[in-house]
A and B are shown apart, each in its own frame.
Chain A
Amino acid sequence: MPLNIRTYRDLTEADRSGLVDQIVAQRRRVADRLATVRRVLAVLSGKGGVGKSFVTAGLARALVRGGRATGVLDADFNGPTIPSLLDLPVARSTFHDDAIEPAMSPEGVRCFSMALLLEDGRPLAFRGPETEGHVWRETLEAAALREFLADVAWGTLDQLLVDLPPGVQRFQELTELLAVPPAVLAVTIPTAESRDAVRRALHGAVERKARLLGVVENMVGGPFTGSAADELAAEFGIPVLARIPWHPTPDVWDAIALSVRSTS
């Protein structure tokens, strides 16, 4: 005779652990912190080595030059490069009330990155059981993303650019943490291989109901040939916001910033 056991959802009494409440409080903290951020913009490609961070940093600088308050959250925890690209010296992070002050680039871009926290040359490593680290490591990185959003005093921003690592997992984590999906700026190089990887990432973004702002084609005019940006633009019905040559001048970045501003 089987026991007549009520199910999880049948049990509704409050419990001191309140694990669900703790998760809700975490999300509320993210929402409260970002209440003064007009737009979160995810810079995504799905492909490594196409210059996402390079584009993110150049765009952020140009947006600030154009008078837009801009922050960059470096979400590539295992290969963080944004501070270096923004000419940010590694310095101690300071506290202000219940949050950590973002670093400020010479031009005025606010930034937070794992590169500001890690020992020079050391990989991101977590405390935990030595075996089966893959089971919990991604969860910890998602927690780090949450804390970078919620615990940095971003202040009032026109946009917070989130520089994503290759793949789509961090984008999915970001989407789950935000009240509304972030706007997406796709970065590709001209090749068919890049096009295919970015296409997967963009389909992932569409499935998450993110607004696609457009595609930026990087490393144009060099050894990489193809028409990835045009093909992606046609497939997803989005504009090619810029084609960045190998040695872009400030006016190239200013033009991209203008295009991005026009999408807000």
Chain B
Amino acid sequence: MKFLCVECDRQMQFEERQLPGDGTLAAAFRCPACGRTVALLTNPMETQLVASLGVKIGGTTIEPQPMETVRGMVTTGRDDAFDDGKGETGTGKSPRPAWSPEAQERLARVPNFVRGMVKRIYLDYAKERGIAEITPAIMDTARTELGLEEM
């Protein structure tokens, strides 16, 4: 999928992604010549098809987690399917970020099947950016930046 600014005859560049949380996706593309911006809006079916491929419009800055698609998409997984204990510190060399009580509460609502992976993703995101405390606002930003639908 590519976008062409017909007037300038230039390929438009990905600018920003938004996940409203209703299964839809918005991705903005800007013309590098005239600055005109267009938004691609996908319905839940189209969003799902992209997610099914295990790719993210706009790319991602962190490495995919093992079984990321299976864990993120399967709804009938066992609560105790994965032992996530060893991986909870995430990657990177900076200190382990703390979790605000509100962020912990939000994380607790994530099904066990995927919770350990989601936790690692947020930790990796925070550590990469030197964020000391993970809050719901940080989780929202990470979700949009990383293209994490429903996490």
Contact code string B16-49 (vs A, CB < 8 Å = 1, else 0)? 0000000100010000000000000000110011
Q: Which of B48, B49, B54 contacts A26 (CB 8 A)?
A: B54
Cα of A3 to Cα of B78 in the assembled complex, Å: 54
* Interface membership of A178, Cβ < 8 A: no
Cα of A8 to Cα of B73 in the assembled complex, Å: 31
Q: Specify which chain B residues have a CB less than 8 angstroms from the CB of A26 in the assembled complex.
A: 54-55
Q: Which of B78-103 contact A (CB under 8 A)?
A: 78-84, 86-87
Q: Specify which chain A residues have a CB less than 8 angstroms from the CB of B58 in the assembled complex.
A: 16-17
Are B54 and A95 in contact, with the CB atoms below 8 A? no
Are A132 and B45 in contact, with the CB atoms below 8 A? yes
Are A147 and B69 in contact, with the CB atoms below 8 A? yes
Q: Which residue of B lies closest to A116 (CB)?
A: B81
* Interface membership of A129, Cβ < 8 A: yes
Q: Which of A121-178 contact B (CB under 8 A)?
A: 122-129, 132, 135-136, 139-140, 143-144, 146-147, 151
User: Assuming A95-B84, A118-B76, A143-B69, is B11 touching A136 (CB within 8 A)?
Assistant: no
Whole-angstrom distance between the Cβ of A263 and the nearest chain B Cβ: 32
Cα of A123 to Cα of B77 in the assembled complex, Å: 9
Q: Specify which chain A residues have a CB less than 8 angstroms from the CB of B150 in the assembled complex.
A: 127
* Interface membership of B70, Cβ < 8 A: yes
Are B74 and A98 in contact, with the CB atoms below 8 A? no
Are A17 and B4 in contact, with the CB atoms below 8 A? no
Cα of A135 to Cα of B68 in the assembled complex, Å: 20
Cα of A25 to Cα of B27 in the assembled complex, Å: 22
* Interface membership of A5, Cβ < 8 A: yes
Which bucket holds chain A's interface residue count? 35 or more
Q: Which residue of A lies closest to B52 (CB)?
A: A139
Cα of A6 to Cα of B79 in the assembled complex, Å: 50
Cα of A69 to Cα of B11 in the assembled complex, Å: 51
Contact code string A169-207 (vs B, CB < 8 Å = 1, else 0)? 000000000000000000000000000000000000000
Q: Specify which chain B residues have a CB less than 8 angstroms from the CB of A94 in the assembled complex.
A: 82-83, 86
Whole-angstrom distance between the Cβ of A149 and the nearest chain B Cβ: 11
Are A147 and B59 in contact, with the CB atoms below 8 A? no
* Interface membership of A18, Cβ < 8 A: yes
Q: Which residue of B lies closest to A144 (CB)?
A: B70
**B-contacting residues of A (Cβ < 8 Å)?**
3, 5-6, 8, 11, 13, 15-19, 22-23, 26, 90, 92-95, 98-100, 116-120, 122-129, 132, 135-136, 139-140, 143-144, 146-147, 151
Write 16 A-B pairs (CB below 8 A) sorted by A numbering: A3-B6, A5-B4, A5-B6, A6-B9, A16-B59, A17-B58, A18-B59, A93-B83, A95-B82, A95-B84, A95-B86, A117-B78, A119-B79, A128-B48, A139-B53, A143-B54
A-B residue pairs, 7 tightest by C-beta: A139-B52, A151-B66, A92-B83, A122-B76, A22-B55, A129-B44, A16-B14
**A-contacting residues of B (Cβ < 8 Å)?**
1-2, 4, 6, 9, 11, 13-14, 23, 27, 44-45, 48-49, 51-59, 63, 66-70, 72-84, 86-87, 113, 150
